[in-house]
Structure 1
Amino acid sequence: MNPGPLITLENAEQRVGLLPELGGSAAFWEVRREDRWCPIWRSYAPNPQRRTVANFPLLPWSNRLIGHGFEVDGKFYPVASNRPDEGLPMHGTAWMHAWSVFDQSASHVEMQLESRHADGAPWHYRARQLYWLEGNSLLMRLEVTHLGAVRMPYGLGFHPYILRNPAGPDVKLRFGAAGYWPGDKGVPADHYAALPADWDFNHLREIGQGNIDHNFHGCDGRMRMERPDIDLRLDWHTTEPTGLDSAILYRPAHGEWFCYEPVTHLTGAHARPGLPGLRLLEQGQSMALEVRQTLSRITS
């Protein structure tokens, strides 16, 4: 997919680059430090084999869709694989399409997309996505409205690639969690209530090494990340839906970046009784995910 034109929002504290035509993705997010810009997320890079962006929307589901489809009201709806390097359908359909700019100013961009049974998928929806700079905060909002005549399950998420400092000192991380589902190649296995020390981030600590790709529950909608090499503290607050208690932490073994993903449902929820965390939307019904990230200095 052609990345299309880059839109840059910038103020005295930060700047973010957006590529609406490349799946409504972000190209970069940077913080100002004196006379230079320092990246917070990894930056977009053209790659014919694999898409490399800074952040992208997860819609109408997050992560892997187990079983290549789902059943609603006694009918099975097949969903085809959408990535050549993955056997299971991944991360929804919104990232596969060009979004259009609905509204724009010096401080915000609102994008929109209508997807009608794309590539044979059962969903027909309208989506809006907002990026808004407010001083030292970045607001991100993702909304979906179901347009089809038959009710369908929906889930939302964001997938940012947050940079680490491989030369050290490493980033520190905190987010509340009460339990987890360990992932086997991203697919959750059994649930555990006790968090092993290496996967417990209820208190701010270095992120550590080794692969993690787990779903966590009992989260409080907040995350703090500190990156000493650029004197950056990032405070994340998932403001909608209220009480969202799930998140995915993806810590690849390579140690270049990690992903903290607020998601509205458990990976593989389509294959579990009751579709846990997914919302069955009737025609005209909507749901939203909103995140506010605030930047400050560790030393201040």
Structure 2
Amino acid sequence: MLNLQNQDVELAVNPRLGGGISAFRWRGLDVFRPQSDSRSGAASPLDLACFPMVPFCNRIADANIAFNGQKRVLPTAPNGIEHVHALHGVGWISPWAAPETSDTHAILTLRQDGTLWPWALEAEQRLSLTDNGYSHTLAVTNRDSSAMPAGLGLHPYFPRAKAALELEAEGYWKTGEDRLPEEYCALRETPQWFSGDRFDDCFKAASSFVSIAWPTHRLTIRSSPNLKFTHVYIPPEADFFCVEPVSHIPDAVNSELDHAASGLVMLEPGETFQIECRFELEEPA
């Protein structure tokens, strides 16, 4: 476990468990839901406070990619988390190395040889504390001999009690019963996020920031322009919710939409795609 800390900020990072974050605190307050104890007794990335999604976000239908006339089969998520689809990439289920660390900064790296994902790749995370939060950079590089589809995102969990979410969006991809995008809907009014309805939908961002407020603190997530979407997951009656900055819609690699609409990125051999999120805290207004 890596423990980064300055005067107001604490960040606990677990390289071996998906390169994820176990806790993020500001002035002693939990900003992310802290890592929970797994019901199975074995540590799971789903118990983390936040994990990286690389080289794709959310689900790929039936764990199959139809790409350049070829069918490529992916593993489904481990431990019965998702029986049908591939989920959240390979970074969250892989151990990462930590070649560089300090009291306030860490670099994590990952290499995949093409076994879990049909292309060889390298990934890197840079986590740096700031006076009022931290910045999180995630990058993926194609180390294969052919072009590779790619996407990136972060999957933080937040405490739900007394939370208020502000998210500016033009519309959203509604998720069907198969947990995949069903149709695009214009957003005519602000959703009632915590009304008891289930949300598992991908919103097209209208701005580069999201705000979450609790009675004791306010968080602003500032995302790089290439994070065009925000996936919101709010399960009914759960004590947490997820607001995930992502670069593409679910199952983008199999979508008939052009890449500009789906957010999918094509990386030639040696090319790198990078995103950044800044998590900034302040006292409530």
Supply the AA of the counterpart residue of 2:173. Answer: W
Q: Specify the alignment match of 1:96 in structure 2.
A: 93
Summarize the alignment of residues 18-97 of structure 1 with structure 2, pairs less than 5 Å apart: 18-32=13-27, 37-47=28-38, 48=40, 50=44, 51-83=46-78, 84-86=80-82, 87-97=84-94
CA contact (8 A) 1:162 1:258 kept: yes
| 1:236 equivalenced with 2:231 (yes/no) | no
CA contact (8 A) 2:228 2:248 kept: no
Distance 1:248 1:178, change over 3 A: same
CA contact (8 A) 1:217 1:246 kept: yes
Q: 1:45 deviation in Å?
A: 2.9
Q: Specify the alignment match of 2:131 in structure 1.
A: 135
Where structure 2 has 5 or more consecutive residues not aligned to the other structure, the ranges are none
Taking the aligned partners of 1:298 and 1:194, their CA distance within structure 2 comes to 27
Q: Secondary structure at the match of 1:178?
A: strand
Q: 1:57 deviation in Å?
A: 0.4
Summarize the alignment of residues 1-300 of structure 1 with structure 2, pairs less than 5 Å apart: 6-32=1-27, 37-47=28-38, 48=40, 50=44, 51-83=46-78, 84-86=80-82, 87-119=84-116, 121-165=117-161, 170-185=162-177, 186-198=179-191, 207-228=194-215, 231-239=216-224, 242=225, 244-273=227-256, 274=258, 276-299=262-285
Q: How many residues align?
A: 275
Taking the aligned partners of 1:210 and 1:79, their CA distance within structure 2 comes to 32
Distance 1:126 1:187, change over 3 A: same
- Alignment deviations for residues 68-115 of structure 1 (CA, whole Å, 9 cap, x no partner): 222222222221213223121110111111101121111111100101
Q: Secondary structure at the match of 1:98?
A: coil
Taking the aligned partners of 1:69 and 1:150, their CA distance within structure 2 comes to 18
Where structure 1 has 5 or more consecutive residues not aligned to the other structure, the ranges are 1-5, 200-205
Q: Specify the alignment match of 1:202 in structure 2.
A: none
CA contact (8 A) 1:72 1:152 kept: no
Q: Secondary structure at the match of 1:141?
A: strand
CA contact (8 A) 1:66 1:270 kept: no
CA contact (8 A) 1:107 1:133 kept: yes
Taking the aligned partners of 2:24 and 2:175, their CA distance within structure 1 comes to 28
CA contact (8 A) 1:54 1:161 kept: yes
Taking the aligned partners of 1:126 and 1:180, their CA distance within structure 2 comes to 31
Supply the AA of the counterpart residue of 1:192. Answer: C
Taking the aligned partners of 1:218 and 1:128, their CA distance within structure 2 comes to 25
- Alignment deviations for residues 257-295 of structure 1 (CA, whole Å, 9 cap, x no partner): 111101110111122123521111111000011001111
Taking the aligned partners of 1:127 and 1:161, their CA distance within structure 2 comes to 22
Q: Secondary structure at the match of 2:253?
A: helix
CA contact (8 A) 2:227 2:275 kept: no
Supply the AA of the counterpart residue of 2:66. Answer: E
CA contact (8 A) 1:180 1:195 kept: no
CA contact (8 A) 1:232 1:298 kept: yes
Q: Specify the alignment match of 1:3 in structure 2.
A: none
- Structure number with the higher strand fraction is 2
Taking the aligned partners of 1:246 and 1:221, their CA distance within structure 2 comes to 9
Taking the aligned partners of 1:194 and 1:128, their CA distance within structure 2 comes to 35
CA contact (8 A) 1:139 1:293 kept: yes
CA contact (8 A) 1:101 1:110 kept: yes
TM-score under structure 1 normalisation? 0.87
Q: 1:208 deviation in Å?
A: 3.6
Taking the aligned partners of 1:96 and 1:153, their CA distance within structure 2 comes to 19
Taking the aligned partners of 1:68 and 1:9, their CA distance within structure 2 comes to 36
Q: Secondary structure at the match of 2:206?
A: coil
RMSD: 1.7
